[in-house]
C-alpha cells in the first residue's frame, strides 16, 4: 500500500510531501524526503535518456528493500512521486495499473490545487483540502 506521496516542482524543489504510515521509516518528514530524493535521481536519469520517446509522462521506478518508488513527470515538468511498501497487506504485489491511476488522480488533484487563486506558481502547496484529498487517495487507492 502507498505510504507517501510527493509533488516536486520544475526546479526540483518540493511542493508537497505528505504521507501516512505508522512505521518509523515513513512517519517523519526527513525520512520521506530521503525516499523521494532517491526516486528523483532515477527519474532524472530516465528523463535525460528518453524524454522525447516516452508517450505519456513515463512511469519510472526505483526499489529499496522495503519500498517501491514510482515517478510520473507531467508535460509541465512537475514530478509526482508515489512511495509504496513492497507488498500490499494482502500479500500480492501492487499492480502497475493501480499505481498509474493513482498517479493520474494525483495529477488531477494537483491541477485543481494550483487553480486556487491564492496559490502562487512555484510555492509549496499548503491547501488543507489538497492534503485531505491526497491522504484519502493514499488510503483508498493502492
Partner 1 sequence: MADDIIFELLHSEIINYAKEQSKNNGNKETDLSVVEYIGFAAGYKIMERLTREWPRFKDELDTMKFICTDFWTCIYKKQIDNLRTNHQGVYVLQDNAFRFLTNFSNGHQFLEYAPQFVAYTCGLIRGGLANLCINSVVTAEVQTMPSCKFHINVQRTT
Shortest Å distance, C-beta 77 to partner 1: 5
Q: Is 121 in the site for partner 1 (CB under 8 A)?
A: yes
Count CA atoms within 13 Å of residue 68 on its CB side.
17
Residue selected from 92, 115, 118, 128 as contacting partner 1 according to rule CB under 8 A: 115
Pick the stretch among 18-26, 37-45, 61-69, 106-114 that binds partner 1 (CB under 8 A): 106-114
Give the residue, chosen from 12, 13, 28, 51, that forms a contact with partner 1 under the rule CB under 8 A: 51
Window 2-31: residues binding partner 1 (CB under 8 A) = 10
Bridge partner residues of 14 (DSSP): 8
Direct distance between the N- and C-terminal alpha carbons of the chain, in angstroms, rounded to an integer: 5
In whole angstroms, give the CA distance from residue 52 to residue 54.
6
Measured from the CB atom, the residue of 97 and 115 that comes closer to partner 1 is: 115
- Rounded Cα gap, residues 61 and 46, in angstroms: 10
Count of residues near partner 1 by CB under 8 A: 20
Least spacing, CB of residue 60 vs partner 1, in Å: 13
Give the β-pairing of 67-73 and 79-85. Answer: antiparallel
According to CB under 8 A, which one of 24, 30, 55, 128 is a site residue for partner 1?
A: 55
- List the beta strands (DSSP E) in 20-121: 59-63, 67-73, 79-85
- CB of 32 within 8 A of CB of 6? yes
Residues near partner 1 (CB under 8 A):
10, 51-52, 54-57, 74-78, 107-108, 110-111, 114-115, 117, 121
Amino acid at each position: 500500500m502507498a505510504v507517501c506521496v510527493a509533488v516536486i516542482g520544475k526546479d526540483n524543489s518540493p511542493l508537497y510531501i505528505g504521507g501516512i504510515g505508522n512505521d518509523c521509516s515513513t512517519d517523519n518528514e526527513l525520512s520521506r524526503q530521503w525516499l523521494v530524493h532517491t526516486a528523483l535521481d532515477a527519474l532524472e536519469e530516465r528523463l535525460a535518456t528518453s524524454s522525447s520517446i516516452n508517450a505519456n509522462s513515463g512511469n519510472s521506478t526505483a526499489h529499496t528493500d522495503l519500498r517501491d518508488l514510482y515517478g510520473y513527470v507531467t508535460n509541465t515538468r512537475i514530478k509526482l512521486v508515489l512511495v509504496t511498501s513492497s507488498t500490499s497487506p494482502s500479500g500480492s504485489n501492487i499492480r502497475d495499473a493501480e499505481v498509474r491511476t493513482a498517479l493520474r488522480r494525483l495529477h488531477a488533484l494537483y491541477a485543481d490545487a494550483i487553480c486556487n487563486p491564492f496559490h502562487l506558481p512555484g510555492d509549496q502547496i499548503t491547501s488543507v483540502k489538497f492534503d485531505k484529498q491526497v491522504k484519502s487517495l493514499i488510503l483508498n487507492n493502492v
